[in-house]
Structure 1
């Protein structure tokens, strides 16, 4: 059992990383009476993550609402993220049922807008000390558990003690490394490049995703009239693609079905990307340590789930540990509860993403569901709920859904 009274603490919780997951966790914990040190290695409060899909899936809307960020996001011009997906059977276009509620949504918003917004919100939250220019260089350990961090600062190295250290420091998490938490790594068979465009109209004014089997592409409208356009081809195409990056990027986009008119749009960013983005999974806890966001699980960027899972994992951690972090409960038991929730909610999604990252065409089950969703409105909505991570793989591929898809395709074949 954790004995929080065994050592003095500067804070209840130290969080390394003041982007989405870290800032969200700091806000939610502080509202529950937890004293939080929020460390950010960069000194600029306007710093942001550059390589991102800029999408927050609908599963994270309740977290945004709890954080009180919805009005600020709307004011900043965040775009509600409707979507349509191209497949070889045609377009899947989810729409609300005629007599039903609107489809759940969250937002597309550039990280250059979102990161400073949520970080400033955290800095204004009573109980949170935002410490910029603080880079974790090691952990303080006693009796086999972590009881704080060492951090390099503009004034020199300092030690900050806390009952709990949270790693919200991304896929290459220093906290995870110092805590000895290894990552299981899975190869991603695609590479990716993206750029930002202004005056790039999209069909219906909503996000588009192209399943080209095995290549992928997407275009998401964002705040300030900027559209993020990304291509994710098979790595076999990489040598030829890199010979002329701009030409290859534009040629790929022009060849898309119902391609957005990229030649008449204004490109307002460099073409940036990554040629190697493996999927990582880590055990999300260790004695005195919790991992959230990409530090715990990094999925394939083509699904746009990273921001949503960062916010959700911050909420799950808060709900599990807030009481124990103040010294009134068993922290080890609380961390175990967080780890169970994290695994139950995300493991199945990650397993499917790992399999699809092998750069294969659709398997028989995917062919069944995707083809039926292109032909049936209720199955299109069903797929939308899964893509928004509001339902898990077991419900997505439930016997009822599979039977309905088979019936839809049978009727289509008969017609």
Structure 2
């Protein structure tokens, strides 16, 4: 069987895979990027569309930002959250720096842009229409991948193999990496609208509760509007998708005005989307993006974490690729620690809420406090933008401030009632 040798072989040419390929090649590595789709314009259909502010610096480094802005992707100001206590609308400190922005962009626009940057990067050998059919192992270590392309099979050997092939990762399956699955009590449908259906065209909106929804203004002058009800609503949606979708959105407090726009797509979605988590490394192998951790789409973390997890892997391993398997595995251990530290706590909270439970007392305190206190609202924005982790998000000083704000609110309310 014919085979070729690279420093890194990456299976999956979407956001995480292309990011890893670009960064490895810029560091001097020779990279094989294996993508099953034949067209460089292929894209993922199911997506939240939101990219968190924490990923934007890396997108600038990659050269993605000016290209998506040229394509019409709007910079998104802090997300406006509806809660049963009112709206949370984070604003900068008086006289302070503007709050960091994210982006909303359709994958139809984003995926080809990132892939073409990879295609144009010296050192990246993009192999379109190639499917990974197995891994090559020696002594319990992954040393390559077997691919099928154009009816022929061949091996690609590499110092490191990267699985960037999404939530149903074949690389993880071939490597025998188990998958932890958490049931999602909600399902999701979205559609694109043209027209002024939102109060502000540069703000993403999310309706927060046991039943949820979000609306993201995106490129092409379109707004992606999604509902994420609990599965008790599923029979109504199965009986009449158009009617149930429209009726659900019409009940949202301060929701989108669908009559002011035109739906220009079919209603797209899924009725079952469990959260998946895998160990992100094995000897000679790493998983990035959804292959390592696939979260609940309502939070809009997938694209940002795809960019970022790939960059963490490259940072931990790029200087070790030519130093032997032991050094590569030490780099993989560093990546595994980074991946766990950055994502596991956040995934735990997301998975816990995916069960459909009501807010717990801590969540009620923080969200109510954020409605009433600009500082607490900015803190929530930093967490939702993934600039801080769970420990800082739930710091005692933050909870104490929110509790004090809410207590003062109750006292003022009682005083007004007594009058």
Contact 1:34 1:326 in 2 (8 A): no
Gaps of 5+ in 2: 413-419
2:316–2:335 CA contact under 8 A, matched in 1: yes
Question: CA offset at residue 9 of structure 1?
Answer: 5.9
1:201 is matched with which residue?
Answer: 197
CA distance in 2, matches of 1:267, 1:230: 12
CA contact (8 A) 1:217 1:232 kept: yes
1:282 maps to which residue?
A: 278
TM-score, with structure 1 as normaliser: 0.96
Partner residue of 2:330? 333
Secondary structure of the residue that 2:144 maps to in structure 1?
Answer: strand
Task: Give a deviation string over 1:271-315, Cα, whole Å, max 9, x none.
Answer: 111111111110000111100000000011110000000000010
> Structure 1 residues 124 and 326, CA, compared in 2 at 3 Å: closer, same or farther?
farther
Q: Give yes or no for contact 2:52–2:385 (8 Å, CA) kept in 1.
A: yes
Residue 207 of structure 2 is aligned to residue 210 of structure 1: yes
1:106 is displaced (CA, Å) by 2.1
Structure 1 residues 147-158: aligned runs within 5 Å: 147-158=143-154
Q: Where does residue 361 of structure 2 map in the other structure?
A: 364
The whole-number CA distance in structure 2 between the counterparts of 1:263 and 1:176 is 46
CA contact (8 A) 1:33 1:326 kept: no
Length-normalised TM-score, structure 2 = 0.95
The answer to which of 254-263 and 306-315 deviates more is: 254-263
Does the aligned pair in 1 maintain the 2:167–2:290 contact within 8 Å? yes
Moved over 3 A (4+): 326-329
2:409 pairs with 1:412: yes
Contact 1:192 1:233 in 2 (8 A): yes
Match of 1:47 among 42, 46, 50: 42
Task: Say how many residue pairs are matched.
Answer: 407
Distance across 1 between alignment mates of 2:128 and 2:322: 24
Contact 2:167 2:276 in 1 (8 A): yes
Can you list the C-alpha shifts for 1:350-406, whole angstroms capped at 9, x where unaligned?
Answer: 000010001011110000000010011111111011111111111111011001001
What is the CA–CA distance in structure 2 between the aligned matches of 1:105 and 1:392, rounded to whole Å? 18
Alignment check: 8 A CA contact 1:77 1:223 kept? yes
Q: Does 1:224 align with 2:220?
A: yes
Counterpart residue number, 1:36: 31
Q: Tell me how large the CA RMSD over aligned residues is.
A: 1.2
- Runs of 5+ unmatched residues, structure 1: 1-7
